[in-house]
Structure 1
Amino acid sequence: MKKVLCIAVAALLGLGNLNAQDAKFGAVAGYHNLSMKVSEDSASVSADGNGFYVGVSGEFTLSETLNLQTELQYASASQGDSANLIVLPILAKYYILMSLVYWQGLN
């Protein structure tokens, strides 16, 4: 949890240094397959669902080797009951080389 908090703070502090030419925006859409499992003591419950999502994305350059990618997605999932979700994935990308990227994120 401390690592996630440190990354989030570093990303927010870096956003203050953004210039307009350092941001890329686009649209995203796709299919998702969701699964959830909850266990407590000897009992467990699981559920699966699938659906589609649409949204917008933005990638911001924080330094020469570090980018922050965010998306805002509307997702619809169904299995019996339908669920409509707003999803905000955040991804930090570290460019080791121009063609080799290490990334870590939250969903």
Structure 2
Amino acid sequence: MKKVLITTVIVVLGLSNVNAQEIKFGAKAGVNVAYISGDNIEDIDPITDFNFGFLAEISISEKFSFQPELMYSGQGSEVNLKYLNIPLMGKYYMTKGLSLEAGPQIGFLLSAKNDDTDVKDVFNTIDLGLNFGVGYKLNNGLNFGARYNLGLSDINDVDDVSDKNRNEVFQLSVGYFFF
């Protein structure tokens, strides 16, 4: 996990030197509606949890920017999964303030609990996903986002079980760019 975080910082710093017109740093928080999809998943209700973290927006041109994030995210269903996610979002500004965004995400499982029982050992520690969303940024730094995370990797880590399951998460967030 240390290597991934170091690599992410190096990428962000490296991209900031590639004709970046402006870099803004901020924080955001919001609500998740999360569920697990895949094999043998019937009658499992989605959960509502929260997300929060830090982000940077690196302007590449007037229409394009790159937004790496470091986010804590509550996911799962009846099993409560907590992740440290690193989304790497490309943003296209359709008009001033309004952007479409997409990009890959890597997640690191921090904890997994069913009621109060630790079940982390039956889940993979790495979760890969793809994000799609829309955002709106005001001139004063306040910003709003709606995002869908499609899990790409099997979250199960149980021998002799062929079920394949993945995370899916809808997120609403509000944030602020400090500088």
Q: Same fold (TM over 0.5)?
A: yes
Q: Indicate conservation of the 8 Å contact 2:34/2:77, yes or no.
A: no
- Measure how far apart 1:61 and its partner are: 0.9
Aligned to 1:45: 41
Note the residue ranges of structure 2 that are not aligned, 5 or more in a row.
1-10, 105-130, 132-179
Q: How many residues align?
A: 91
TM-score (norm 1): 0.64
Percent of paired sites with the same residue: 27
Aligned to 1:62: 60
More strand by share: 1
Query: CA-atom RMSD, angstroms?
Result: 2.9
Q: Which gives a bigger RCO, structure 1 or 2 (Cα 8 Å, sep 6+)?
A: 2
Aligned to 1:34: 34
Which 4+ residue blocks in structure 1 deviate beyond 6 angstroms? none
Note the residue ranges of structure 1 that are not aligned, 5 or more in a row.
1-10
TM-score (norm 2): 0.42
More helix by share: 1
Q: Indicate conservation of the 8 Å contact 1:71/1:89, yes or no.
A: yes
5 Å matches for 1:1-107? 15=15, 16-19=17-20, 22-39=22-39, 44-45=40-41, 47=44, 48-77=46-75, 79-106=77-104, 107=131
